[in-house]
Each structure stands twice: as structure tokens, then as C-alpha cells.
Structure 1
Amino acid sequence: MSQHWTRSILALAVIILTPCVVNSHAPSKKEQPQKWSGPGTSQNLRNILVGRCFHYMSLYPDVGQKNCYGIWDALINAVYRKNPCNITEEDYEQLANVTGQTIPCDKTLLWSRTNDLVHRYTKATENFVTLEDTFLGFLFNGLMWCGKTSGPGMNFKSCPAWNACDNNAISSFWKMASATFARTSCGVVNVMLNGSTDGAIARKESILRTVEIPSMDPANVSEVKLWVIDDITGEDRNSCNSESLLELKKYIEEHKLKYSCIDNYKPVQALQCVNNYDQAACNQCKYQ
């Protein structure tokens, strides 16, 4: 009887203590993604990118056959399991390679502070190409994304805002895309600027000045032509002879690029007049 009870007590002790042993080796609480100040990755990002890829190829067959799923893989390789504030332009090198595209000479149109107007113009005329009209720009325009260090996949809850850190996933991407676009440009490169904006017409921290102008190859770019476009209902704060433009002219020429400038390029002003025909600048006699 004594041995029987001894065995029973030992068995009961094992049963009671086992959960304690198991719990002592339980995994720690799963690391949570860091919360950032910007919105999270766009929902259904993969499907959007693949869909846009096939759509662009149907619209512009000259872009050639692209591996739409390979583009998604290249994005994953750039940002997965990485701190979204430590993504460099070099991380997107593979993505740049799989989305390569040749833009005809004299077709490049850069812009600063004229987002809405410049894209209305390229859609209306189809004579020029902005970065957002290229294959790469078309794919990612208006989207948000970032990875997380806590595991694979995208962070759908939050991502760093544009100015949250120097090398965040979004700003580094658009710097890479802008540099690629400017570097491969040839002939006359046109730039649409806002003549009614406050302060300098092209801020020193702008993509135009920090990325695009330095990336141009003087051997391939014959001229940088600025279009200074006033808001049709706004003030004329800057013109080709204003201090801000002359300073920009000097900056462009320091990069061994030829410079020219035109105030209120008439085809663009005509587009502005479609919805503002009663403005003084829209006098029909001006376009005869």
C-alpha cells in the first residue's frame, strides 16, 4: 500500500507541475510593428500594382512585355523585414531595372508645385511625359507602402510620413524614380513651374533641385526650358526675370546645362482658359 500511494503521489505531482514547465518555455509576446505618423500600406497593393501593370501595357504596347508579378517581387525585396526609415534609393535598384522604359527625346516634362495643371496638360495634349505618366510612375502613383522589422509582409496600419525621416520607403522610392527619369532624358527637357506661388519658385529642398537637375546628363540634354505659369485667377509673383528665376538659372547652368525660360506658355494658358474664359488673360485676341 505504501508503494502504491507513493507512485500515485508522484504521478499527481507530474500532472500538476507539467503546465508550469510548459509555460516556462512559452514564446514571448509577438513583436508589434512600430506605429508611424503616416497612413499604412494601401489595401490590396499587390492586386493594384499587377492590374495597373497589365493596363499600362495594353495602353502603351511600346513599353514591351513586363513581368507584372516580378515587379511585386522586386518591391518585396526592397522593403520586407526592413526599418521603413532605413530604405535607400539603392534598395529599389532591382525595381528600377524591371520597370525600365525609354522615353523619346524632347518629351520629358518635369514640374514643381503644378501637380494638377501639369497632368491635365499631358492628358489633353499627349505631347509630353511626366514621371507619373511613365510605366514606373503610373504603377505607384498615389499609393503607400512600407515593410516592418517584426516580420514579413507590409505594414497596413501605419508608415512613416514623407518628412518623418530622410530615408523612408516612399521618399526614397520617388527620389529613385525621379533620378532615373531625369538621367535617361534627352533633347529639350521642359519644366512647368508655378509663377503665383509664395517664396522661391523652386525650393532648394525640392526634388527638382536636389535630384532631377543634378541627375541630367549635359551630353544628352540639349536645353532645360522653364515654363513659368501663373494661376489664371491668381497673382503674378514670379516671371523669367524675377530674382527667384535668375537664381534657378544660375543653379541649372552650374550643372553645365543650357537654360531658357518662357512666361505663361500659351498652350498651357489656353487650357487654363477652358474653365476661366472670362478672365482678362483669356482674351481671344491673344491666341490669334
Structure 2
Amino acid sequence: MPDYEFSPASGDRPRSGISKQVLIVLGACLPVILALAIWVGVLSWRQRSMGTTDRFSAIVLGRCLTYTQNVHPELRNQDCKKILNAFTSAFVSKDPCSITKEDYQPLINLVTQTVPCNKTLFWSRSKELAHQYSGIQNEMFTLEDTLLGYIADDLVWCGDPRTSEVKEEFCPYRNENCSSTATSVFWTVVSQKFAESACGTVYVMLNGSGTTAFSKASTFGSVEVFNLHPDRVHTLHAWVMHDIGGVSRDSCLGSSIKELKSIVNQRNISFLCQDDYRPARFVQCVRRPEDPACSTLM
């Protein structure tokens, strides 16, 4: 029921049990209170979400066993317990903002895997499509299709110098004050190794619906492309993909791709580029076959 009190004697309109002045103050403060509550909630969620992934060690060990026993049984001789120990030893009991490439070197040395020539697929801002494509073209390897990339994909982790355990609470974000986080350094190290081992013709899937298809700030643009060995890699083939039904902001004729071509050619590697590579376009159209952009493929 409405919180009204009636005065039979006066015959006036209902009188609220809450004064008008209080209502005005509450009305003025409510947006601020709501905004503060939302901010606190988001901050709390971000802190929880950026802590070390729950059951991190169990997930890493389980993924390693799945990969070496089922996905690529030719790697069944890899010791997953040693891999887990080398992985966690790289960051536990250490400052989460002072991890080095050398910390992960024992892990890198422990894992031996060779990606066949002409089968390396890099990606930048196109992770989902690249993985869908490599999932169909089983002989293609993205970084996440290798053992180390597979076990760490989408996980977060960090340590604390005050404990010998994996830190479960908030892990620091990578920023100007914390540029060497456990997670970011790991991906830099394995990305470098992935590029160094590539051979023959290598491929990169780029997003032409973003602001720029190629960015020197990306992992591909800052790490991988500069660690391709010209004596092993003779051609880089770029596929600039555009979202089905989305906008086309960049293409093989754009300035960012010209910059990529210049970098690659300066390294004595040939460069090819193709907009909306047809087999990858088919993968996109599986979800939206009715789109006009897909009807032309049939």
C-alpha cells in the first residue's frame, strides 16, 4: 500500500510519511548512489575475474594430458607433470610485475614440438575466426593449437613473493607501471618461439573491420613478424577478413597493410595479401548463410 496518512479534519490532500525535502534529497542523490554501487560492483567483479583462474594447476595438467594423449598423441612422451612444475615455477614466489623471459626458459626448453612448414597461422584481432578455420583445417596451427598455447589459452595467473603458492586473488593488469606480468611475458615468449620455428609460407589472419587491419602494437606486429627467419620463411600471406554484415574499414590496399608489406619486404620475405580469403569466408557464412555477402559464394 502507498505510505499515505489522511487527515479527516483538514480535508487536505494526502500527506506523505516522508517529507518533501527528504524526497528531493533522495532524488538528487539516487543517481550518485547507483553509480557508486555499479562502480564498486564492477571493480569487485574485475578483481575477481583477474585473479588466477580457479583450479589453475588442475586445468593446465588436464589440458596437457588431453593434448598429448588425444589431440596430438605423437607428443605422448611429453611429461605433463614436469611441464606443470616448470610452468608454475616461472612465476610463483615472484613479484607479479617483474617476471622475465628467462623465468619461462626452462618451460620452453622442456616442450619439444615442431609445426610443419607451410602450416603456421598467425592472427591479430581475429582469434575466433582463426581458431574456427584451424579447427576445420586440422593441419593448420595457430599458437593456441600448439601444446603451450593450448594449455594456457584464456587463463590468468600470477604469483606473490610472500607465498610459494599460486596467487588466487587479484593479479595486476599490464600497464605502464606493471609491464612484465606473468601472463603477458608468457605470451610474448611463446609467440616469439612460435614465429622463430615457422618455415615455408606462413599465414596471418587480420581483421579488416577494425580500425586498422595491421597494428605494430599487437603481438603479431611487435613480436611475431620480427621473429620470422628469412632463411626459413620465404612468404607471408595475409588474409584480411571482414565481418559478415559489418563494415569494411581496412583492406589489402590500406595503409596499414602497406606498412606490413614494407616490414616484411625489408626482412627479405615475400608478401601476398588477399581480402576475404574464400575458405575462411565459408567458415564465417556457416553462422549467417542468409546474408547477401554469403549468397555470392554459392
TM-score class, shorter-chain normalisation, is 0.7 to 0.9
Selected match of 1:269 from 266, 281, 286? 281
Q: Counterpart of 1:5?
A: none
Code of the residue aligned with 1:184 in structure 2: it is S
Quick one: distance in 2 between partners of 1:204 and 1:71? Answer: 32
Selected match of 2:133 from 121, 139, 155? 121
Quick one: distance in 1 between partners of 2:293 and 2:92? Answer: 52
Q: Counterpart of 2:164?
A: 152
Cα contact 1:193–1:201 (8 A) shared by 2: yes
Code of the residue aligned with 1:176 in structure 2: it is V
What is the deviation of 1:148? 0.4
Q: Kindly indicate whether residue 277 of structure 2 is the aligned counterpart of residue 257 of structure 1.
A: no
Q: Counterpart of 1:53?
A: 64
Quick one: distance in 2 between partners of 1:72 and 1:58? Answer: 16
Unaligned 5+ runs, structure 2: 1-45
Quick one: distance in 2 between partners of 1:64 and 1:253? Answer: 39
Partner SS for 2:234: strand
Q: Deviations along 1:3-32, whole A, 9 cap, x unmatched? A: xxxxxxxxxxxxxxxxxxxxxxxxxxxxxx
Code of the residue aligned with 2:69 in structure 1: it is S
Q: Kindly indicate whether residue 193 of structure 2 is the aligned counterpart of residue 185 of structure 1.
A: no
Quick one: distance in 2 between partners of 1:192 and 1:143? Answer: 23
What is the deviation of 1:233? 0.9
What is the deviation of 1:263? 0.9
Partner SS for 2:252: coil
Partner SS for 2:287: coil
Equivalent residue runs for 1:204-283 within 5 Å? 204-283=216-295
Quick one: distance in 2 between partners of 1:139 and 1:100? Answer: 14
Quick one: distance in 1 between partners of 2:89 and 2:291? Answer: 52
* Structure of higher CA gyration radius: 1
Cα contact 1:213–1:255 (8 A) shared by 2: no
Quick one: distance in 1 between partners of 2:88 and 2:126? Answer: 32
Identity, in percent, stands at 37
Q: Kindly indicate whether residue 194 of structure 2 is the aligned counterpart of residue 201 of structure 1.
A: no
Quick one: distance in 1 between partners of 2:231 and 2:243? Answer: 34
Q: Counterpart of 2:146?
A: 134
Partner SS for 1:49: helix
| TM-score of the pair, normalised by structure 1 | 0.83
Q: Kindly indicate whether residue 110 of structure 2 is the aligned counterpart of residue 81 of structure 1.
A: no
Q: Kindly indicate whether residue 58 of structure 2 is the aligned counterpart of residue 39 of structure 1.
A: no
Quick one: distance in 2 between partners of 1:162 and 1:66? Answer: 31
Code of the residue aligned with 2:55 in structure 1: it is N
User: Once superposed, which parts of structure 1, at least 4 consecutive aligned residues long, lie more than 2 Å away?
Assistant: none
Q: Deviations along 1:108-132, whole A, 9 cap, x unmatched? A: 0000010111111111221311000
Aligned length: 250
Code of the residue aligned with 1:124 in structure 2: it is I
Q: Counterpart of 1:66?
A: 78
What is the deviation of 1:64? 4.0
| RMSD over equivalenced CA pairs, Å | 1.6
Cα contact 2:238–2:274 (8 A) shared by 1: yes
